[in-house]
Amino acid sequence: MNNILPTYPRSELTFTHGEGSYLYEKSGEKYLDFGTGIAVNSLGYSHPYLNQKLREQSEKLWHLSNVYQIPEQELLASRLCNLCFADYAFFCNSGTEAVEASIKIARRYFHKTKKSKVKKEIISFSGSFHGRTIGALAAQGPEKMETFNTAVNDFKFLEFGDHELLKSSINENTAAVIIEPIQGEGGVREVPTFCLEAIRKLCDENEVLLIFDEVQCGMGRTGKMFAYQWSNIEPDIMTIAKAIGNGFPIGACLTSKKVGDAMEFGSHGSTFGGNPLACSVGNAVLDLMTSPKFFSEVVTVSEKLLLDLNKVANDYPDIIEGIRGKGFILGLKCNINNEDFVKQARKNFILTVKASDNVVRLLPPINLSNSECDEAIDKIRSTCKELTS
Ligand SMILES: Cc1ncc(COP(=O)(O)O)c(C=O)c1O
């Protein structure tokens, strides 16, 4: 008997090691990884600089309780805040914990500063994915909750893209709107910048907080540090995780001072969150992502990938209906079953990830080279050809 709780359907592949953009199977076969542990290993595998920084910190101190000063955490918080709208960072270990923190902070803000007991409803959208804890699940609609015989009050679930519905649904009970600037699991569905801006306006007019969930689309994946930075607006709270530690578990909830000041000692916490080892790796990731020309390279190579993918889609319209997304969070909207595509791509030694809406997600390392981009296109083209015949 396999003693792992059966929560994942697993392929038969067993990887023994990775290097750069490649994973190596126990058979010795080499796979180009366009899944990166679902947008986690954004700087590839066995990165020498990250390995060195991890080793250095591992020989000094792994874990320290948050009741002590943690300079590595302070540094990471100040660097993340300097890179975006935020003034405070709360560190945790996963995306779902970052989302839980965001819900708590939003509700507490109105409870404490506005003395409002009714302003606690969180609005979210169909197709969204915010994690698997009860609170994060509640933001994904009642259907998912029902399967656990659970209901959590004060969540409202709306159709993605229906601005008029959002407008009419916001009322005096609404505390926050939570949205992914680009839905990952939902099928790489981008919220156009004019929509993000319209949602911000609506929130401002109604004294509602705006939470961006950038757990998947953030940390450089779109060609800017955060996906919302392609627009002209800012959230009040933002959740990030996945790529911060390039595989070392770390998540964060970032807030403005206005909102974060509603939290006080004991209002939230984490045993492991923000420990020296995780934060040292996070700082090393930022060293690389903030190096000169890093993002111009991301944009150049991802634009080439998009152009080349569109050519493949044009040549194989029966297989690929169109390409979605931005930077290195791309989706192939399929005209065949997306799972069949993922399986066939694997036979061509490229790893991809399926998403809802019959989409195949491409989430390569964001430091992908031009030649790896060409290799991926060859493999995707072969996959389409094989699926056609
Ligand atoms: C947008 C988004 N939010 C939250 C989560 C949950 O993150 P985790 O699996 O680290 O709890 C995910 C995971 O895929 C995600 O894509």
pLDDT tens for 20-40 read: 999 999 999 999 999 999 999
Q: Which atom of ligand 1 is nearest to the CA of 136?
A: 4
pLDDT recorded at residue 126: 97
pLDDT-derived band of residue 117, with 50, 70 and 90 as boundaries? confident
Please give the Cα distance from 138 to 96 (Å, whole number).
Answer: 12
For 44-62, write each residue's pLDDT tens digit.
Answer: 999 999 999 999 999 999 9
- For residue 241 and ligand 1, the question of a CB distance below 6 A is answered with yes
pLDDT recorded at residue 79: 98
pLDDT recorded at residue 375: 98
CA 224 to centroid of chain Cα atoms: 13
Q: How far is the centre of ligand 1, averaged over its atoms, from the C-alpha of 215 (Å)?
A: 6
Please give the Cα distance from 172 to 118 (Å, whole number).
Answer: 7
DSSP string, 116-141: -SS--EEEEETT----SSHHHHHTT-
Q: How far is the centre of ligand 1, averaged over its atoms, from the C-alpha of 97 (Å)?
A: 9
Is the pLDDT assigned to residue 250 strictly greater than 90?
yes
Please give the Cα distance from 14 to 308 (Å, whole number).
Answer: 30
pLDDT recorded at residue 46: 98
Distance between first and last Cα of the chain = 39
Q: Which atom of ligand 1 is nearest to the CA of 183?
A: 1
Q: Which of 36, 42, 96 to mutate to test the pocket of ligand 1 (most atoms within 8 A of CB)?
A: 96
Q: How many CB atoms are closer than 10 A to CB 334?
A: 22
pTM of the entire structure? 0.98
pLDDT averaged over the chain?
97
pLDDT recorded at residue 151: 87
Domains of the chain: 15-33+293-388 (3.90.1150.10), 50-289 (3.40.640.10)
For 291-308, write each residue's pLDDT tens digit.
Answer: 999 999 999 999 999 999
pLDDT recorded at residue 166: 98
